[in-house]
Amino acid sequence: AQSVTQPDIHITVSEGASLELRCNYSYGATPYLFWYVQSPGQGLQLLLKYFSGDTLVQGIKGFEAEFKRSQSSFNLRKPSVHWSDAAEYFCAVGGISNDYKLSFGAGTTVTVRA
């Protein structure tokens, strides 16, 4: 069965500081990996996705993520956070062996302090 673990429930970061959100996945075959962001009261928006090729993936809003097969991880990073990055972030995994259905992690809430 596929699953996603986001070890950090809540992270507080200062504006301008770097941010890293952890994601560990369990999947029996080649995974397809996603990061979504949910602003308060909104639906989810795709930040980036990985399914093949370069293991460092660039996304929108200055985010990037690195796929590390040996560590079963897909951590999200941003070099310098803005107050507007305060949101909840979800990692998700899917792939061919589960009919492409996605499994989501529990989410990490990011608070940005001035």
Binding site for another protein (CB under 8 A): 4, 9, 32, 36, 41-46, 49, 51, 90, 92, 94-96, 99-102, 104-107
Distance CA 93, CA 103 (A): 5
Instruction: Please report how close the Cβ of residue 114 comes to another protein at its closest, in angstroms.
Output: 27
Instruction: Please report how close the Cβ of residue 99 comes to another protein at its closest, in angstroms.
Output: 8
Instruction: Please report how close the Cβ of residue 109 comes to another protein at its closest, in angstroms.
Output: 10
Residue number with CB closer to another protein (9 or 114): 9
- Please list, in sequence order, all residues whose beta carbon lies within 8 angstroms of the beta carbon of residue 99, skipping any fewer than 6 positions away: none
Residue number with CB closer to another protein (58 or 80): 58
The H-or-E segment that residue 44 falls in is strand 44-50
Q: Closest Cα to residue 26, out of 90, 72, 75, 69? A: 72
